[in-house]
Amino acid sequence: MISMFEHIIPLFELVVVSYICGALFSLLFRKFGSGKPFFIPTIIGSIFLIVLSLKVIIDGSSLHFELAPDNVFSVNHFLIDGIAAFFLLLIGIVSLSVSIYSLGYIKEYIEDKHVTVFGFFFNTFILSMILLVSSNDVFSFIVFWELMSLTSFFLVIYNHENESNLKAGIIYLIMTNLGTALILASLLLLSSQSGSLSFESFRLSSDSNSAYVKNIVFILAFIGFGTKAGIVPLHVWLPYAHPSAPSNVSALMSAIMIKTAIYGLIRIIYDFSGVGSGVTDNHEFVWWGFLFVTIGAISSVVGVLYSVVEKDIKRALAYSSIENIGIIFIGLGLSIVFLSFDLIYLSAFAMLAAMYHLLNHAIFKSLLFMGAGAIIFRTHTANMEKLGGLVKGMPWTSLFFLVGVLSISGLPFFNGFVSEYLMMLSFLSSYHIPDILIAISVGFASAAFALTLGIVLATFVKIFGISFLSKPRTDIIYRIKEVPHTMLAGMGIVALICIILGLIPFIGITMITHAFNLQLPPNQTLFSFEPILSEFGASNNLSGLSLPIVLMIFVSILVATLGFLYVVGGRTKQRISETWGCGFGYFNERMQYTASSLSQPILHVFRNFYRPSLAIQSILYHSSNSYMKESVKIQISNKNIFEDLMYGPIISSVFKTYERTKKFQTGKINLYLLNVFVIIILLLVYVRLSP
Amino acid sequence: MMPIETSASVSGVLIGIIQFLVILVLAPLLTGIMRKIKAITQKRTGSSIFQTYFDIHKLMRKDEVVSEEASWIFRFSPWIIFSSTLVVALFIPIFVVYSPFGLGGDIILVIGLFGLSRFFLMLAGLDVSSAFGGIGVSREMMISSLIEPALFLLVFIVAVTYDATNIDTIVSHAAESSVLISASLLFSFFGFFIIVMAETGKIPFDNPATHLELTMVHEAMVLEFSGKSLALIELSQSIKQLLLISLLINFFIPWGISTSFSIAEMFVGLLAFLLKMISLGMLIAYIETKVAKWRLFRIPDLIFLSLASGLMGIIFLFI
C-alpha cells in the first residue's frame, strides 16, 4: 500500500473547510438574507473538489488523508482512489452548477422562510457526500452515510407547511434507515471476517472469505444500497421525496445522492469481494450479475412507465431517475456476468457503459431538475396541465431544458446517446457468453432496455411539449419573465457538459478508464480500452462514435438544403396566422391536448400494469332528467401496484402489531413497575437455569 | 470480406456521392410507384408516378403560413428532420457495398438519427397547439415506443449474425453468405418488414392519404406545415421510406449488390436493387389494398407480433 502525503496544496482540507465555512456562515450571517454567504463558499469548495478529483484521475495515484490524526478508532483516515475521485468529480460538477443556480433560486424562499437553515443543511449535505465517498473505514462510512440521509431528510421537509411533504419525509426516513441497517450489517459482517473496521483490511481478506459469506454480504448490501438507489420494488420513497424537496436539492439528490449507493455497491463487489481478482472462481458470482440485470430491467421499465403518465414535472423526473438507475444496474450486471465467464474486456466495456451512463445521468438530471425549478420559480406550479408556452417567455431556460431533454432521450450529438450506444454494444456482445440460457435472457433483457428507451422519448416529448410549447394554459404565463442570470448560468454549465460529453465521448471514456483502472490491481489491463476491439471482431471499432464528423455532415447538409431550396423554390413569403381550428375561428387553450390525454394510448396499452379506474360524477339540473347535466366531473386514477399490493399489507400488519402492544401502554405507573418486575424475575430464572 | 477500404480515393467519394444522389432522386419515385400500384389495384387510373416530384416542387415555391402559437421549434424542425434523414442516407449502401461515410455508419447511430427526426416532428406537432397535432403525437408516442424494443431485437439478431454493427460490414457479410442462412434471420426479416410498414405509415398502421382524425397519425402532426417546410417534410418522409426499404433489402436479400467498383458489377447491382425495390413496393402496395386500416388499439398487437418474432429470433440465434 502506497501512502502519499505529498500534497503540496492541501486541496482536500480546502474542500472540507470551504463547505464547513458555507455551513457556518449560513448560521452566523442570519441577517444577510441574500443567500450569497451560504453558496459562495460552496462554489469555491466545488471548484477545489473538481481540481482535486481531476488531479487524482490524471495522476493515477491514490491520495490518503488524515483529518484527525489521533482518535478513538485510529482508523479515521480518508482514501481517494480513482473510483472515489470519479464520484467526487461528479459531486464537484453538480454542486458547482447547483450552488451557482441556488444564488438566484433561493429568492423563492427568502421572503417567508429561514434560508439560513437551508444553507446549513445544503452545505452539510454536500460535505457528507464528499466525506462518504472518500472514507476508508466502516465507522466514518456509516457516520457520513447517516449524516447524508439526515441532512437530505431535513431538506426534503424544508417546505414543511405542506402536509404531503411531511409524509414524503417520513417515508424517506423509514426507507433510508432500513437501508442503512442492512448496509451496516453487511459491512460489519465483512469486518468480523477481517478483524478490523478498516476498508484496507477488507481488501486484504477479500480472497479468503468463503463464498457463503460473500453471498450474504452481497445480498445485504444489494438491498441496503438498492433502497438508496431507488430500485424497484424499494423505490417507493423516491417519487415522494424528490419532488417534495426544493428543486436545487432534488437536483443534488437525484444527480449524486442516489449515485453514492452505486458507489457503495461497486466498492463491495469489485473491491471487498474479490470479484475479478483472479484468485476466486468467478463462476459463483454469475447470479449476482443476473440479479443486477433483472432488477435493473424491471426498474427501468417500471420507472419509465410511471414517468410517462405523470402530470407533475418533478415526479416524472423522479420516476425517470428510477429508470436511469435501472439502466446503470443493467450495465453493472452485464459487467459482472461477463466477468464471471472470464470475458474480461467485455466486462470492462459494460462497466464503462454503466459508468458513462452514471456520469451522464448526473449531468442531465441535475440540469432537468434545475429547469423544473426554474419553471416553479416563475409559475409556482409543477403541474404540466397548468403550463404551456414557456418557450416564449423563458427562451434560455427552454433551450437548456431542451438540451437536457435531448440528452436524456438518448439522441445523437448529446451525451445520453453515447452511453446508450455503449450499453447496446454491451448487449450485442452477450453472444460471447457460453451459457445459452443466460445469453438468451440477456437478449430478452435488451428488449426491456429498448422499450425503456422508446418510452423515455415519449415521456420527454410530453414533458417538453406540454410545458414549454403550445398555448399557455394559465394566464400568468403570458407575462412570464426569464429567470435570473445566476440560475441560467447554473443550468448553462451542465448543458454545456451534456454537449461536450455527447460530441467528444473520448473525454468521458478516457476519464472513466483512467479512474477505474486503479482499483483492480490484479488486472491492470482490465480497463484499458484498446483490446476491446479484438473481442468485438476486427471491423467493429468505435468509429461509430465519430460524432463531430457526423455533426459536421449534418450542418453542411442543413446549409446545402437551405441553398437548394431557395435556388429551386425562390424567395417566398411567410405569413403569421392563427392555428387551424377546423374553420370555426375560435381557438382557445382548452382545445389543446392535455398531458394526460397525450399519454393515454400508452396507458391503454399497459392497462394491466396501471390498473386505471375512471370515476364519472354528474351533477344534474333535475333528478328526473338524467340528460341535462349541470356539470360532469371525471376522475382518472391509476393503482400503484407496488404501494397497494406490496407495501400496503406490510404497513397494515405493522399497525396491527402496534395496536396489540398498545395494551401495555396504559399510562399507569404501577403497571409499568409490574412489567419491569416480571421481566427481572424471568431474567433471574433464565440466568439461574442456563448452564 | 471487408467493405472496400478506399474511403479516401476519388472514385470512392464519387461513387458515394452517386449513391447519395440515387437515394435523393429515387425516393419520390418510389412513393409515386407505390401510389400508382395502389391505384391500379383499386381500379383507378391514379396520378403519374412522377407526381410526387411535381408536388414537392410546387410546395417549394409556395408561401408559408405559420401559426401564431408556433415557436422556433416549429420553424426549425423541418430542417432538422430533413438533415438527419439525409445524414442517414449517407450511411446506407444502395447498389455497392460502400457508402461515403460508411465508417461512421453504425446501425445504432441510424436508429438514433431517425429518433432525432421523430423527436422534432413530435415537438412541432405539439408546438402549434392544435388538437390535431396532439392526437398525432399521442398516437406516434405509443407506436414509436413500442416499435423500439422490436427494432432493437431485430438489429441485435442481424448484428450478431454478421458480427458487426457497421452497416457496410453487415451488408458485405450478408452479400457473401448470399442465402438466408438461419431461422433467426427469417424471423428478423419478418419482424423488420412489419416495422418498415409501421415506420412508413402504411395501411394497417396509418393512412397518410386521408385527413380523417380517426385514422391520422403522421398527417396529423404535419397538418400545420405549409410551403417549403411541408416540402422538406414530404421529401424526408419519402427518403426515409426508401432508406428503410433499402436496409431491408440489403440486410436480408442482398443478392446482386456490387462488392467492387467495377462498372459492370455496379450496373448489375443498381438493376438488382431497382428490381427488388419495385417488387417490395408492389408487395407493400398490394398489402395496403388487401388490408383495412386497423383500429388504433389493435396496432400494438401487430407490433407485438414483430417483437415476438424478434424474441424467437434471439432464441434461434443462441441455440
Alpha-carbon distance values, A421 to A355, A611, B106, B154, B304 (Å): 13, 34, 10, 16, 24
With 90 as the cut, is the pLDDT of residue A302 above it?
A: yes
* DSSP state string for A660-674: HHGGG----HHHHHH
Residues of A in contact with B57 (CB under 8 A): 568-569
Q: What is the mean pLDDT of residues A419-448?
A: 88
- What is chain A's Cα-based Rg? 27
Q: Work out the pLDDT band at A586, boundaries 50, 70, 90.
A: confident
Residue of A385, A414, A422, A424 to mutate for B, most B C-beta atoms under 10 A: A424
CB contact under 8 A, B83 and A470: no
Residues sharing a CB contact under 8 Å with residue A281, sequence separation 6 or more, in sequence order: none
Which carries the bigger pLDDT value, residue A281 or residue A115?
Answer: A115
CB contact under 8 A, A575 and B159: no
Question: Which own/partner pairs from A499-504 qualify as long-range (CB within 8 Å, at least 24 positions apart)?
Answer: A499/A403, A499/A413, A499/A414, A499/A415, A501/A359, A501/A360, A501/A363, A501/A415, A501/A418, A502/A407, A502/A412, A502/A413, A502/A414, A502/A415, A502/A416, A502/A417, A502/A418, A502/A547, A503/A413, A503/A547, A503/A548, A503/A551, A504/A547, A504/A548
Partner-chain residue, chosen from B118, B137, B142, that has the shortest CB–CB distance to A465:
B137
Q: What is the mean pLDDT of residues A560-583?
A: 84
Query: Nearest to residue A254, comparing CAs of A163, A325, A202, A153?
Result: A325
Give the pLDDT of residue B317: 87
Residues of A in contact with B120 (CB under 8 A): none
CB contact under 8 A, B164 and A412: no
CB contact under 8 A, B152 and A464: no
- Residue A457 CA to residue A461 CA, distance in Å, equals 6
With 80 as the cut, is the pLDDT of residue A17 above it?
A: yes
Partner-chain residue, chosen from A436, A540, A597, that has the shortest CB–CB distance to B164:
A540
Residues sharing a CB contact under 8 Å with residue A87, sequence separation 6 or more, in sequence order: A133, A256, A259, A260, A263
The CA-based dihedral angle spanning residues A288, A289, A290, A291, taken in that order and rounded to the nearest 10 degrees: 50
Q: Which residues, numbered 601 to 620 in chain A, qualify as contacts with chain B under a Cβ-Cβ cut-off of 8 Å?
A: 601-602, 604-605
Compute CA B50 distance to the chain's CA centroid, rounded to the nearest angstrom: 19
Partner-chain residue, chosen from B2, B61, B319, that has the shortest CB–CB distance to A572:
B61
Residue of B83, B103, B110, B239 to mutate for A, most A C-beta atoms under 10 A: B83
Q: What is the mean pLDDT of residues A454-467?
A: 95
Q: Work out the pLDDT band at A403, boundaries 50, 70, 90.
A: very high
Partner-chain residue, chosen from A440, A457, A572, that has the shortest CB–CB distance to B62:
A572
Q: Which segments of A135-275 does DSSP mark as H helices, in order?
A: 138-156, 163-194, 199-205, 211-229, 238-244, 247-252, 258-266
CB contact under 8 A, A449 and B66: no
Instruction: Answer whether A571 touches B (CB < 8 Å).
Output: no
CB contact under 8 A, A391 and B115: no
Partner-chain residue, chosen from B60, B137, B307, that has the shortest CB–CB distance to A569:
B60
Instruction: Answer whether A540 touches B (CB < 8 Å).
Output: yes
CB contact under 8 A, B66 and A439: no
Residues of B in contact with A454 (CB under 8 A): 144-149
Q: What integer best gives the mean pLDDT of chain B? A: 86
Instruction: Answer whether A454 touches B (CB < 8 Å).
Output: yes
pLDDT cut 90: percent of chain A above it: 44
CB contact under 8 A, A539 and B164: yes
- Residue B215 CA to residue B217 CA, distance in Å, equals 7
Instruction: Answer whether A591 touches B (CB < 8 Å).
Output: yes
Give the pLDDT of residue B4: 43
Query: Nearest to residue A248, comparing CAs of A69, A397, A66, A376?
Result: A376
Instruction: Answer whether A599 touches B (CB < 8 Å).
Output: yes
Can you give A54-84 as a three-state secondary structure string?
HHHHHHCCCEEEECCCCCCCCCCEEEECHHH
Q: Which segments of A309-343 does DSSP mark as H helices, in order?
A: 313-340
Nearest residue in chain A measured CA to CA from B162: A537
Instruction: Answer whether A562 touches B (CB < 8 Å).
Output: yes
Query: Nearest to residue A551, comparing CAs of A488, A503, A610?
Result: A503
Most confident of A271-280, B13-22, B267-276: B267-276
Residue A83 in contact with residue A260, Cβ under 8 Å?
A: no
With 90 as the cut, is the pLDDT of residue B310 above it?
A: yes
Most confident of A326-330, A415-419, B33-37: A326-330
Compute CA A279 distance to the chain's CA centroid, rounded to the nearest angstrom: 34
Q: What is the mean pLDDT of residues A56-68?
A: 75
Nearest residue in chain B measured CA to CA from A553: B87
Instruction: Answer whether A381 touches B (CB < 8 Å).
Output: no
CB contact under 8 A, B232 and A451: no
* Closest-CA distance of chain B to residue A600, Å: 8
CB contact under 8 A, A576 and B319: no
**Residue B155 CA neighbour count, 13 Å, CB half:** 27
At B286, which helix (H) or strand (E)?
helix B263-290
Instruction: Answer whether A259 touches B (CB < 8 Å).
Output: no
* Closest-CA distance of chain B to residue A538, Å: 9
Residues sharing a CB contact under 8 Å with residue A357, sequence separation 6 or more, in sequence order: A324, A327, A328, A331, A419, A420, A422, A423
Q: Please give the span between the terminal C-alpha atoms of chain A, in angstroms, as a whole number.
A: 48
CB contact under 8 A, A454 and B318: no
Instruction: Answer whether A451 touches B (CB < 8 Å).
Output: yes
Q: What residues are paired with A78 via a beta bridge?
A: A65, A135
Can you give A240-261 as a three-state secondary structure string?
HHHHHCCHHHHHHHHHHHHHHH
- Which amino acid is it at B109? L
Partner-chain residue, chosen from B65, B163, B314, that has the shortest CB–CB distance to A440:
B314
Q: What is the mean pLDDT of residues B84-113?
A: 80
Q: What is the mean pLDDT of residues A343-365?
A: 89
Instruction: Answer whether A559 touches B (CB < 8 Å).
Output: no
Give the pLDDT of residue A80: 87
Q: Work out the pLDDT band at A565, boundaries 50, 70, 90.
A: confident
- B275-290 confidence digits (pLDDT tens): 998 899 889 988 988 8
With 90 as the cut, is the pLDDT of residue B267 above it?
A: no
Q: What is the mean pLDDT of residues A610-622?
A: 87
Residues of B in contact with A549 (CB under 8 A): 101, 104
Instruction: Answer whether A431 touches B (CB < 8 Å).
Output: yes
Q: What integer best gives the mean pLDDT of chain A? A: 85
- Residue A327 CA to residue A259 CA, distance in Å, equals 13
- Which amino acid is it at A621? Y
Partner-chain residue, chosen from B104, B227, B232, that has the shortest CB–CB distance to A549:
B104
Nearest residue in chain A measured CA to CA from B213: A582
CB contact under 8 A, A428 and B160: yes
Residue A254 in contact with residue A314, Cβ under 8 Å?
A: no
Give the pLDDT of residue A517: 65
For A77: left if phi > 0, alpha if psi spans -120 to 50, otherwise beta; the answer is beta
Task: Report the range of poorest mean pLDDT among A98-107, B16-25, B187-196.
Answer: B16-25
Length, in residues, of chain A: 691
- Which amino acid is it at A211? A
Q: What residues are paired with A616 via a beta bridge?
A: A634
Query: Nearest to residue A428, comparing CAs of B157, B149, B181, B2?
Result: B157
DSSP A576: E
Residues of A in contact with B295 (CB under 8 A): none
* Closest-CA distance of chain B to residue A273, Å: 31
Give the pLDDT of residue A523: 33
CB contact under 8 A, B116 and A412: yes
CB contact under 8 A, A598 and B138: yes
Give the pLDDT of residue A461: 95
CB contact under 8 A, A544 and B106: yes
Residue with cell 418488414: B193
Give the pLDDT of residue A554: 87
Residue with cell 387553450: A589
Which carries the bigger pLDDT value, residue A300 or residue A549?
Answer: A300
Residue B165 in contact with residue A628, Cβ under 8 Å?
A: no
Give the pLDDT of residue B208: 77
* Closest-CA distance of chain A to residue B41, Å: 33
Instruction: Answer whether A195 touches B (CB < 8 Å).
Output: no
Give the pLDDT of residue B6: 42
* Closest-CA distance of chain A to residue B136, Å: 9
- Residue A63 CA to residue A134 CA, distance in Å, equals 10
pLDDT cut 90: percent of chain B above it: 42
Residue A160 in contact with residue A118, Cβ under 8 Å?
A: no
Most confident of A378-382, A428-432, A530-534, A660-664: A378-382
- Residue A542 CA to residue A284 CA, distance in Å, equals 32
Q: What is the mean pLDDT of residues A434-462?
A: 93
Number of Cβ atoms within 10 Å of the Cβ of A534? 9
For B20: left if phi > 0, alpha if psi spans -120 to 50, otherwise beta; the answer is alpha
Q: Work out the pLDDT band at A70, boundaries 50, 70, 90.
A: low
Nearest residue in chain A measured CA to CA from B318: A436
Give the pLDDT of residue A521: 30
CB contact under 8 A, B115 and A411: yes
- Residue A276 CA to residue B188 CA, distance in Å, equals 36
CB contact under 8 A, B149 and A454: yes
- Residue A600 CA to residue A592 CA, distance in Å, equals 14
With 50 as the cut, is the pLDDT of residue A535 above it?
A: no
Residues sharing a CB contact under 8 Å with residue A320, sequence separation 6 or more, in sequence order: A303, A304, A307, A365, A408, A456, A459
Q: What is the mean pLDDT of residues A584-595?
A: 80
Nearest residue in chain B measured CA to CA from A443: B314
